Structure 1
Amino acid sequence: MKNILFINTGGTISSSAEGHGLTPTQSAENIVAAVPELAGICQIAAMNLMSVDSTNIQPEEWVTIARTVHEQLPAYDGIVIAHGTDTMAYTASALSFMLGKLDKPVVITGSQVSVLAEYSDSRKNIKDAFRTASSELTGVFVVFNGKIINGARASKVKTKSYDAFESINHPYIGYLEDDDIIYSDIPHTRQSEGHVYNDGYSPDVFLIKLIPGMRPDIFDAVHKLGYRGIIVEGFGMGGVPFKEINLIDKIEELVQEGVSIVVTTQCLYEGGDLTIYEVGQRALEKGVIPCYDMTTEALTTKMMWVLGQTSDSAQVARMMATNYVDEITLPNK
């Protein structure tokens, strides 16, 4: 029987109603006790790391979680992390980059309804998470509503429904049906050459979602605030306007001053391609970094992580174009 560490960080799964609404109150031990079937799956050690609504989770908490996992994982066969759903995909992506190459599963789960509620998705999600953590998978995963998702491909797409998370632009790793894991037709384990544990990061990353009529001086304002990296969610394939309102020349100014700027699409599926339209090619010519089909969560945490390793713009571009944890589909060259 596998030996699994359960780390509680808070979130809806551990919440109860207080004066200002739902807030995390339940311990890791309480959550485990609510799912008696776990006794037949594995041996469990419980840890209460923090008790936080995931809206309040910041990059500092990513580091705390990553360091705890890195320190504890050698003593266990896998780890399950209970986390709030609102920023779960950000934490899963951040851990994917920080933890590096893994030879065991690290599984993040949560629920849309508290473990205290009679009709809650929490018990199924916890049970599924422990089954996944007891498997031979390696890497960071989100397990939710019977789906196993690459941690750097998960995104929350619904606010209330139990099927809140999807795998974006990447196959599901597998599905949990009753007591079985049904794997997809992709490798069950992955190797990440040269990618070792590194929890360095820079919080100086800003995301700008373009809208028609946006003034170019928004980039000056962001630059003055000291941001070193800017993510631009462009239109369609990643288009950036350059006629009546010219954002591309302003982007070029910042690139020349050493700010790393990536351009992505506002569309959830299928990714961007800056090589197709003039509005994309002009942006590429000014030195922006394409990011293809990464999720917003993976793109944000990856850029924070990359900027935590280097200030060299060329190296930032190379690292952003490196596939570390199956977070990006690079074009065939």
Structure 2
Amino acid sequence: MRRILLLHTGGTLGMTPSGDPAALAPGRFLDHLQEQVPELGRMAELSVEVPFNQDSACVEPSHVLLLARRIREAAARFDGFVIIHGTDTMAFTASMLGFLLADLGKPVVLTGSQRPLAFVRSDARSNLVNAVDLACRAIPEVGICFGTHWLRGVGSDKQSVHQFEAFHSPNLPPLAEIGAEIRLHGEAGQFPRQLPAGLGAALDLTICTVTPHPGMAWFPVPEGAKAVLIQAFGAGTLPMERPDLKAFLEVCRQRQLPVVVTSQCPFGGVDLSAYEMGRKIEAMGAISGGLHTRWAALAKLGIVLGAGGGIEQARTAFATSWAGEPMPGAAWPQA
């Protein structure tokens, strides 16, 4: 049998009716899982750890680094890994781990649920069974298993607060479609992936994120910000005739802050050369985020900053695929 390490970090799936925190001690939690889902014991030799237990809204970069470090430490003893995680920031953690564990060579499957495992009508049971199944398949991917799909972590985003199909991958097809059988995509695990040397030991999320709207006043760049991430309109346009926006971008240029532009649209991405407003943003030094999701862009920028990188390092990072994230002109064939 495959040896699988299950890391419980919190979220809806593991909530118990009693709310007893002692129920999440590793031994008791494994008993709880096997009581609720007895077939898990027939699927794999499971070990459970609880590196932390909290609402995923409270996840910090230190928690993600802890998970990455623990998985690397255990990689020689386990065939795959399942991470139970709250849904609210699961796409962020999956993007971070997708990059940090790009070269791990073993499956890392994040999952959770919209309703607790102990509830009669819950998606937790099927998500957990499917996640363990995928972790046993030796596909070297970091991805989110939720509902009827396994999605590459660096291409994923949350799309619903109540539907069981809570996540989507707008610019990549799924790694696997889950129904009566699990149908793996032919190229799952086939892309070369490697985090560039010197990156990943630290994360720095001191990033000013901006989601503009028509008529918005562009306030000064916060002191202490080390980069700016803008979710622009459409293919990457902003009201470049506004003096306050020009002043905002000029301050970024003077302070040598990387400015990365992604799109508010989930499907498609940024092409700063497509329209005049985009070309003006690019002329002021902004970096196209291309097809990166907001979470993948934030993760990649945080990894660059964590290694002390600046504008040129960020520009190179967003022109390079580290972990199979979608890049312009490199479409992945449909399943």
Give the TM-score of the pair, scaled to structure 2: 0.91
CA distance, structure 2, for counterparts of residue 145 and residue 206 of structure 1: 33
Counterpart contact for 1:241–1:279, Cα < 8 Å: yes
Q: Secondary structure at the match of 1:74?
A: coil
Q: Secondary structure at the match of 1:255?
A: helix
Please give the per-residue CA displacement for 1:54-91, whole angstroms capped at 9, x wherever unaligned: 11111111111111111112110001111101100000
**1:102-141 equivalence runs, <5 A:** 102-141=104-143
CA distance, structure 1, for counterparts of residue 55 and residue 15 of structure 2: 9
- The amino acid of 2:283's aligned partner reads E
Counterpart contact for 1:242–1:249, Cα < 8 Å: no
Higher mean C-alpha displacement, 310-319 vs 158-167: 310-319
The structure-2 alpha-carbon separation of the partners of 1:23 and 1:147, relative to structure 1 and needing over 3 Å to count, comes to farther
The structure-2 alpha-carbon separation of the partners of 1:229 and 1:24, relative to structure 1 and needing over 3 Å to count, comes to farther
What is the aligned partner in structure 2 of residue 163 from structure 1?
Answer: 165
Q: Secondary structure at the match of 2:315?
A: helix
Please give the per-residue CA displacement for 1:24-73, whole angstroms capped at 9, x wherever unaligned: 96454123432111122111111121111111111111111111111112
Counterpart contact for 1:24–1:52, Cα < 8 Å: no
The structure-2 alpha-carbon separation of the partners of 1:33 and 1:47, relative to structure 1 and needing over 3 Å to count, comes to farther
CA distance, structure 2, for counterparts of residue 270 and residue 194 of structure 1: 24
- The amino acid of 1:47's aligned partner reads E
Runs of 5+ in structure 2 lacking a partner? 331-335
CA distance, structure 2, for counterparts of residue 176 and residue 328 of structure 1: 22
Counterpart contact for 2:64–2:97, Cα < 8 Å: yes
Q: Does 1:191 align with 2:176?
A: no
Counterpart contact for 2:195–2:323, Cα < 8 Å: no
- The amino acid of 1:299's aligned partner reads A
The structure-2 alpha-carbon separation of the partners of 1:38 and 1:321, relative to structure 1 and needing over 3 Å to count, comes to same
**Displacement, 1:221?**
4.1
User: Out of 160, 165, 176, which is 1:174 matched to?
Assistant: 176
What is the aligned partner in structure 2 of residue 230 from structure 1?
Answer: 228
Q: Secondary structure at the match of 2:145?
A: strand
What is the aligned partner in structure 2 of residue 202 from structure 1?
Answer: 204
Counterpart contact for 1:25–1:51, Cα < 8 Å: no
CA distance, structure 1, for counterparts of residue 196 and residue 248 of structure 2: 35
- The amino acid of 2:52's aligned partner reads M
What is the aligned partner in structure 2 of residue 9 from structure 1?
Answer: 9
- The amino acid of 1:302's aligned partner reads K
CA distance, structure 2, for counterparts of residue 281 and residue 177 of structure 1: 45
What is the aligned partner in structure 2 of residue 328 from structure 1?
Answer: 326
What is the aligned partner in structure 2 of residue 39 from structure 1?
Answer: 41
**Displacement, 1:195?**
4.1
Q: Secondary structure at the match of 2:33?
A: helix
What is the aligned partner in structure 2 of residue 62 from structure 1?
Answer: 64
Two-structure CA RMSD over aligned residues (Å): 2.1
**Displacement, 1:125?**
0.3
- The amino acid of 1:259's aligned partner reads L
- The amino acid of 1:51's aligned partner reads N
The structure-2 alpha-carbon separation of the partners of 1:62 and 1:193, relative to structure 1 and needing over 3 Å to count, comes to closer
CA distance, structure 1, for counterparts of residue 295 and residue 194 of structure 2: 23
Identity among equivalent pairs (%):
29
Give the TM-score of the pair, scaled to structure 1: 0.91
**Displacement, 1:285?**
0.6
CA distance, structure 2, for counterparts of residue 133 and residue 8 of structure 1: 15
**Displacement, 1:312?**
3.2
**1:251-266 equivalence runs, <5 A:** 251-266=249-264
The structure-2 alpha-carbon separation of the partners of 1:132 and 1:215, relative to structure 1 and needing over 3 Å to count, comes to same
CA distance, structure 2, for counterparts of residue 262 and residue 242 of structure 1: 16
User: Out of 77, 89, 92, which is 1:75 matched to?
Assistant: 77
CA distance, structure 2, for counterparts of residue 23 and residue 158 of structure 1: 28
Counterpart contact for 1:128–1:143, Cα < 8 Å: yes
